[in-house]
Amino acid sequence: MNDMLQKTANALRARGYEVTIWDNAAAARDFIANDIPAGQDVGIGGCETAYQMGIADALRQSGHAVHWHRGVPASEAGAVRRAAMLSPNYLCSANAVTEDGLIVQIDGTGNRVGAMCYGPSTVYIVVGRNKIVSGGYQDAVRRIKKIACPQNARRLGLQTPCATGECQVSACQHPMCNIFVTLEHAPNAKTTKIVLIDEDLGY
Ligand code: SF4
């Protein structure tokens, strides 16, 4: 068992989350597909991890309606994001998780952090081992600015300063990090399931 994942899982459980650890993405994908009650809709946030896992196809094959704006024309994406927010289940990744159990997220639009905090009654946060940092909140922010944002900017073709160099907030025309949200503890009145995976996934 990966000691870092086990330590992080224990810290997250102490903060009110349901946590599972999986050896690989395929096992985690099967767990999620079987865990969501039959026939229930699933919303997915902007999430490279979900794409790499093939989770949307697995859920559709299991009979779930999936609301995911990835690949949807811009004119329709807003409606899809709202449908995702109104689904009983939501799936996204984390930008960084600290070994002591903080989940640190950035968001440009706010749909993902909104759904994590409120809305869907069950939220799955899927976390590859590469998202875990040992240096606390500041290390999480460093990871986001140095690793997550630049790779996402290049994937999306955004001309942000971080795409080719360092973060420069004042010169950033298309920021992905408009919103920073840190979950200190599992939100009330909903179930948040953290799915830790012993593979590198997403950014
Ligand atoms: S503010 Fe802009 S340049 Fe800085 S990390 Fe976010 S997207 Fe990149």
The CATH number assigned to the domain holding 76 equals 3.40.50.10420
Residues of the chain with pLDDT under 70: 1
Torsion of CA 186, 132, 165, 181, to 10 degrees: 10
Q: pLDDT value at position 174?
A: 85
Q: How many CA atoms lie within 13 A of 125 on its CB side?
A: 29
> Whole-angstrom Cα distance, residue 47 to residue 19?
19
What pLDDT is stored for residue 81 in this prediction? Answer: 97
Inside any domain, residue 156: yes
- For the entire predicted model, the pTM comes to 0.96
Mutation test residue for ligand 1: of 146, 152, 172, 178, the one with most atoms within 8 Å of CB: 172
- Integer Cα distance of 171 and 47 in angstroms: 25
Nearest to 82 by CA among 93, 98, 92, 68: 68
**Structural domain span for residue 84:** 3-197
Best residue among 155, 169, 178, 180 to mutate for probing ligand 1's pocket (most ligand atoms within 8 Å of CB) is 169
pLDDT of amino acid 105? 96
| Residue 160 counted as domain residue | yes
Residue nearest (by alpha carbon) to ligand 1 atom 3: 167
Pocket of ligand 1 (CB under 6 A): 145, 149, 153, 160-162, 167-169, 172, 175-177
Question: If you ran DSSP here, which 8-state letter would residue 37 be given?
Answer: P
In a domain, 203, yes or no: no
pLDDT at residue 156 in the model:
86
- Point out the ligand 1 atom lying closest to the alpha carbon of residue 160: 3
Ligand 1 pocket: which of 177, 178, 179, 203 to mutate (most atoms within 8 A of CB): 177
Atom 1 (ligand 1) nearest CA = 169
Please report whether residue 202 resides in a domain. Answer: no
Tally the domains of the chain: 1
> From atom 8 of ligand 1, which residue's Cα is the shortest distance away?
162
